[in-house]
């Protein structure tokens, strides 16, 4: 299967923002991403964004550069950059409001990764497995 570049990051919504910014971001993403062959998922809970961008490496990095500078959020931190078969082929940008349980799972994955990264290369498989589960919950 053909591999694409996947970039996964976390960021913080600017304090005092109206949650309607999420709709604005999704609207823009869904109009613009198909032109660039970009797909993915945006997740949100309690002021925290997580987003997976996937597509051609050049397009994803170009978009990520813009996203990093977007004043609607800050503390943008890349968590994963890898090459894999595309996960969200049917979604220009899907959306999931994270549950408390989701957050717990993400926390566990990230702290586990931190633990084993001290020893080995980055283990991306648990993040990708989680995203795959989220994909199956999309309508
Ligand atoms: C959390 C977050 C996620 C975003 N995701 C996307 C995206 O997937 N696609 C996109 O085109 N813009 C996205 N944006 C908006 C970009 O930061 C930027 O405003 C937009 O790409 C500008 O597009 P233009 O310069 O092509 O008009 C996102 C912004 C934020 C804050």
Q: What local confidence, expressed as pLDDT, does residue 115 receive?
A: 79
Packed helices 57-69 and 20-36: angle between N→C axes, nearest 10 degrees: 160
Using CA positions, which residue lies closest to atom 30 of ligand 1? 67
pLDDT, greater one: 39 or 118: 39
Closest ligand 1 atom to 72 CA = 31
Q: How many domains does the chain have?
A: 1
**Ligand 1 site: residues with CB under 6 angstroms?**
11, 25, 28-29, 32-33, 42, 49, 51, 63, 66-67, 70, 72-73, 93
Query: For 6-62, how does the pLDDT look when each residue is reduced to its tens digit (9 = 90+)?
Result: 999 999 999 999 999 999 999 999 999 999 999 999 999 999 999 999 999 999 999
User: Rounded to whole angstroms, how far apart are CA atoms 16 and 53?
Assistant: 26
pTM of the predicted protein model: 0.93
Identify the domain containing residue 105 by its residue range.
Answer: 3-138
What CATH number is given to the structural domain containing 84? 3.30.70.100
Would the pLDDT of 120 be above 90? no
Q: State both tokens at 33.
A: 């991403």
């Amino acid at each position: 299967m053909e591999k694409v570049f996947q970039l996964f990051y976390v960021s913080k919504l600017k304090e005092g923002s109206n949650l309607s910014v999420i709709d604005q971001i999704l609207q823009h993403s869904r109009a613009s991403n198909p032109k660039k062959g970009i797909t993915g998922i945006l997740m949100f809970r309690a002021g925290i964004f997580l987003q997976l961008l996937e597509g051609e490496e050049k397009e994803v990095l170009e978009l990520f550069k813009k996203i990093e500078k977007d004043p609607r959020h800050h503390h943008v931190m890349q968590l994963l950059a890898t090459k894999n078969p595309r996960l969200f082929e049917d979604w220009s940008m899907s959306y999931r409001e994270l549950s408390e349980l989701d957050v717990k799972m993400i926390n566990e994955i990230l702290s586990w990764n931190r633990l084993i990264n001290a020893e080995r290369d980055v283990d991306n498989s648990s993040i990708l497995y989680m995203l795959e589960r989220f994909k199956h919950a999309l309508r």
